[in-house]
Structure 1
Amino acid sequence: MADVHDQATRSRNMAAIRGSHTKPELMIRKALHAAGFRFRLHVRDLPGKPDLVLPKYHAVIFVNGCFWHHHDCHLFRWPATREPFWREKIGRNVANDAKANAALHEEGWRIATVWECALKGKTRLTPATVIEKLTVWLRSENDSLTIRGT
């Protein structure tokens, strides 16, 4: 009986996790909009369904959670329970990210990835620093940008 209860609790907890419109994503959207950038959200037609798409700059921005995308930082650690499940799930996420990035580059899109650790935790940057890096990149010709905590 306890096993059924634990499974139901896990299912409810997993259902509460957002895949889009997260706090880090909302912060970036608000700041970029205030800086005059206009974008589309979660465009399904593009590989990986980027969080922000800026067609004018032919650029996409992903705001990735360090846990869900296996980032090598202090915010990531493997869960102590159900290790095979998590290794498979997170490994699949990483593989999907790589495939989506390759397809986007092939289509000529420029890609920025903002990692959660850049916005949260002991290594976070100031929001102004993150937005400045994104702004400079958007106005440049660089193909890619990665923003992570210090």
Structure 2
Amino acid sequence: MADKLTPERRSANMAKIRAKHTKPELLVRRMVHGMGVRYRLHRKDLPGKPDLVFGPRRKVIFVHGCFWHLHDCRDGRIPASRRDYWEPKLKRNAERDAEHAAALQAAGWQVLTVWECETKDLEALKNRLADFLRNGE
């Protein structure tokens, strides 16, 4: 069994978690930039502050961590401990994501969500990004 973290150590670990400029986001940004496509970052005037915004194309990309946004992969599970804390928190994140995507689509934007686990297969991710930027999904 894993050693239990002290509250101070847990707090230090949680403080290191970033909302912007995460490794998966940086990977997607480098990939899109390498395709010759330019974008803006985290536009505050759009619902959810999308990670990448392609204004003239009316397209946005969100790069989500599987744990924090409840992806249906292995990493997107709700923790067994403190379930009463984590379950509503993570479910609300997923609900908010759906609300933001719906608001953007209603405003005429195309939305792509890239999951952290998808960044492991770079070729498939590059093809998915190119398809989205070329045609939409």
The verdict on a shared fold, with TM-score over 0.5 as the criterion, is yes
- Contact 1:47 1:103 (C-alpha < 8 Å) held by counterparts: yes
More helix by share: 2
CA distance in 1, matches of 2:61, 2:81: 32
Which whole-Å CA distance do the structure 1 matches of 2:130 and 2:33 have between them?
11
The amino acid of 1:82's aligned partner reads R
Q: Percent identity?
A: 49
Q: Determine helix, strand or coil for the equivalent of 1:61.
A: strand
Residue 93 of structure 1 pairs with residue 93 of structure 2: yes
| In 2, Cα distance between equivalents of 1:112 and 1:78 | 24
Answer yes or no: is 1:64 the counterpart of 2:64: yes
Structure 2 regions of 5+ residues with no counterpart? none
Q: Could you tell me whether the CA contact under 8 Å between 2:78 and 2:90 is conserved in 1? A: no
The CA deviation at 1:89 is: 0.9
Matches within 5 A, 1:1-150: 6-120=6-120, 125=121, 127-140=122-135, 142=136, 145=137
Structure 1 regions of 5+ residues with no counterpart? Answer: 146-150
- State the AA in 1 paired with 2:20: S
**CA-CA distance at 1:91 after TM superposition:** 1.0
Q: What number of residue pairs does the alignment pair up?
A: 133
Which residue identity lines up with residue 131 of structure 1 in the other structure?
K
Residue 84 of structure 2 aligns with an amino acid whose one-letter code is P
Distance in 1 of aligned mates of 2:107 and 2:77: 34
**RMSD of aligned C-alpha atoms?**
1.5
Give the drift of 1:10: 2.2
Q: Secondary structure at the match of 1:70?
A: coil
Q: Which residue is 1:148 aligned to?
A: none
**Residues 57, 139 of structure 1: 8 Å contact kept:** no
User: Alignment partner of 1:67: what SS?
Assistant: coil
Query: Structure 1 runs of 4+ off > 6 angstroms?
Result: none
